[in-house]
Amino acid sequence: MNIRSPIVSVLGHVDHGKTTLLDYIRGSTIASREAGGITQHIGATEIPIETISDICGPLIDKLSIADTIPGLFFIDTPGHAAFTSLRKRGGALADLAILIVDINEGFKPQTLEALNILKMYKTPFIVATNKVDKLFGWDSIENASFTESFKSQAPSVQQDLEMKVYEVVGRLHEAGFQSERFDRVSDFASQIAIVPISAKTGEGVIELITMLLGLAQKYLTSQLAIHKDAPAKGTVLEVKEEVGLGTTIDAIIYDGVLKTNDEIALMVPGDVITTKIRSILKPRPLNEIRDSKNKFEKIDQVTAAAGVKIAAPHLDNVISGSPLQVLNDKEDVKEQILKEIDDVTIDTEDRGVLVKADTLGSLEAIVSLLTDLKVPIRSADIGDVSKRDVINGQIASEENDEDGVIFAFNVSVHPQVREDLEESDVKLFEGEVIYQLTEDYSIWIKEKKEAERKAYLDAIIKPGKIFSIPKLIFRQSKPAICGIEVLSGTIKPGYPLINANGHPVGKIASMEDNGESLQFISRGQKVAMAIDNAIAGKDFEEGDELYIDIPENHYKVLNREFKDKLSEDELQTLDEFVEIKRRNDPDWGKLGLFE
């Protein structure tokens, strides 16, 4: 019989300080090095009991569990909204949890989501109200206990903290939990302890960890017992290429014992493979598995809970997020894992964008963000962007140009594939920060819609008026050519004309000035104009004012969506024009009942 380390998941809203708390406990600086400043993968660190004793000092001497457990195994989870499935995975793995709440921000959507996960799995937890050092007027004492630090604060600051803690008590009450500040908890079985802390200065961390060990002692002692021959169960965090080892997997072993030469089952796209473990490597204590690099040591076997790197043949296509299980005679492990594959298959539609990501968790996260944005998804896969993806993207773009999009989250694009992309109509959004990808996409869609709208409005014929300058009729007809001046608006070839009585005066064929053909002319310009289907002296006279003949449906669009963009004199011309039209047809341009 062995006692394993309790698994402690740290959950909470984005930026409330989960990674910083673990950094404080480990003495590391991971939070400041994360892409985009957010956690996007599950992290895992083993903290030996000696380190915990060093932090807590005599406070934990009373706890017998401190002599039996080897340490605490912390799991860091992402707080960003998109990572629900990783939070769930982190929550499901946990024996205990710390729910972090920024004391200045209070409860946020992912705080509630985390609470629901804890409720669902009935995980005992502690609430840490973090960032007390940012309370107005707070005077920090580095590494102090909360009790000591609180005592030295001004009464108004103490009051402020009390108020904020009570807000948290209120929110927890709404969620169905009784709670109290930790030093006032009378019954740990029915009340959740709230520990005010600063992950930055370390204030309160002593009490937080002591409370955690208290919970472990109360609830877990039997749950932490491990039979030496129980086959290991775990979760794959990441699949990585390592020099000298080939493809390896990083995994959390949450149950049983894992040994070299064990046969394990793992998930690959659409199937389950089995392979034999060649070697097991363990990060040195206090090293986060995501960050460990060379700080591993080779071991023959490992007992849960632990984070390990595993080298074995055939790991290339293993999916991050896959379950890991040692084969045994009693259970049909493969069948169990196949069932789980069904659960993680991502729903796709007939049309939509393509998504590529590095791990199951990140794929689920980006799919969930896109679904919230109502972006249809045609396919969602794990792996680098391939030639095939570009071909599929091109097909998508030909069907609907908004669908010709590939999201590449944390994956690479081969230079050859990049060349293919450049020659295609496919738009690539790539990066390693999830919200950046969808933000860039939203900006792209917005610009695209604006360009479409501009093209649509450009095609609308707008008001204009010209004046046929006396003595400047150069040709009677076919086409009529005369000198004109623009009195208002912008005039383009192709526009039809009418005179002040509403009679049609042909269509503008071309406009010229000093032998140069013009595509548009505006107010004040004098040019030679050729007019098709009009006879000078019959359809119009020199000295006449002619109006652009706006089609009725164009006028309606203009009136509805574009009026604020017209100038004073264009509006005046529009009024004159409408009056001319309504002399013949009083309802011209008026909206029908159903428009």
Minimal CA–CA distance to 308: which of 45, 116, 61, 495? Answer: 45
**What separation in angstroms does the CA of 524 have from each of 150, 164, 518?**
77, 68, 15
State how far Cα 219 lies from the chain centre.
37
Chain position whose Cβ is nearest to ligand GTP = 79
Burial of residue 555 (CB within 10 Å: 0-12, 13-18, 19+) is buried
Query: By the 8 A CB rule, do 233 and 256 touch?
Result: yes
Residues 104-163 interacting with ligand GTP (rule: CB under 6 A): 130-131, 133-134
CB of 100 to ligand GTP, least distance (A): 6
Angle between helices 84-93 and 109-121 in degrees, nearest 10:
40
The number of residues in the chain equals 595
Nearer to ligand GTP, 63 or 433 (CB): 433
Nearer to ligand GTP, 33 or 228 (CB): 33
x/- letters, 64..83, toward ligand GTP (CB under 6 A)? --------------xxx---
Does residue 9 interact with ligand GTP by CB under 6 A?
no
CB of 160 to ligand GTP, least distance (A): 16
Does residue 14 interact with ligand GTP by CB under 6 A?
yes
Residue 366, strand partner residues: none
x/- letters, 194..213, toward ligand GTP (CB under 6 A)? ----xxx-------------
Q: Which string of DSSP letters, residue by residue, matches 27-57?
A: T---GGGSGGGS--S-EEEEEEHHHHHHHHG
Q: Which string of DSSP letters, residue by residue, matches 409-464?
A: ES--B-HHHHHHHHHSSPEEEEES-HHHHHHHHHHHHHHHHHHHHHHHHHTS---E
Chosen residue from 20, 51, 85, 153 binding ligand GTP by CB under 6 A: 20
Chosen residue from 6, 11, 18, 108 binding ligand GTP by CB under 6 A: 18
133 contact choice in Mg ion, ligand GTP, none (CB below 5 to 8 Å, kind-dependent):
ligand GTP
Does residue 86 interact with ligand GTP by CB under 6 A?
no
> What is the chain's alpha carbon radius of gyration, rounded to the nearest angstrom?
35
CB of 463 to ligand GTP, least distance (A): 54
Query: By the 8 A CB rule, do 426 and 404 touch?
Result: yes
Does residue 43 interact with ligand GTP by CB under 6 A?
no
CB of 132 to ligand GTP, least distance (A): 7
Q: Does an H or E element contain 499, and which? A: strand 496-499
Query: By the 8 A CB rule, do 556 and 507 touch?
Result: no
Number of residues that bind ligand GTP (CB under 6 A): 21
Burial of residue 473 (CB within 10 Å: 0-12, 13-18, 19+) is middle
362 contact choice in Mg ion, ligand GTP, none (CB below 5 to 8 Å, kind-dependent):
none
CB of 82 to Mg ion, least distance (A): 14
CB of 305 to ligand GTP, least distance (A): 21
Does residue 46 interact with ligand GTP by CB under 6 A?
no
CB of 62 to ligand GTP, least distance (A): 27
Of the ranges 10-18, 353-361, 409-417, 439-447, which one interacts with ligand GTP (CB under 6 A)?
10-18
Of the ranges 16-24, 84-92, 293-301, 430-438, which one interacts with ligand GTP (CB under 6 A)?
16-24
198 contact choice in Mg ion, ligand GTP, none (CB below 5 to 8 Å, kind-dependent):
ligand GTP
Nearer to Mg ion, 21 or 529 (CB): 21
Chosen residue from 3, 8, 11, 31 binding ligand GTP by CB under 6 A: 31
Chosen residue from 11, 38, 226, 365 binding ligand GTP by CB under 6 A: 38
Question: What is the C-alpha to C-alpha distance for residues 78 and 86, in angstroms, rounded to an integer?
Answer: 7
Query: By the 8 A CB rule, do 66 and 49 touch?
Result: yes
Q: Which positions lie near ligand GTP, rule CB under 6 A? A: 12, 14-20, 31, 38-39, 78-80, 130-131, 133-134, 198-200
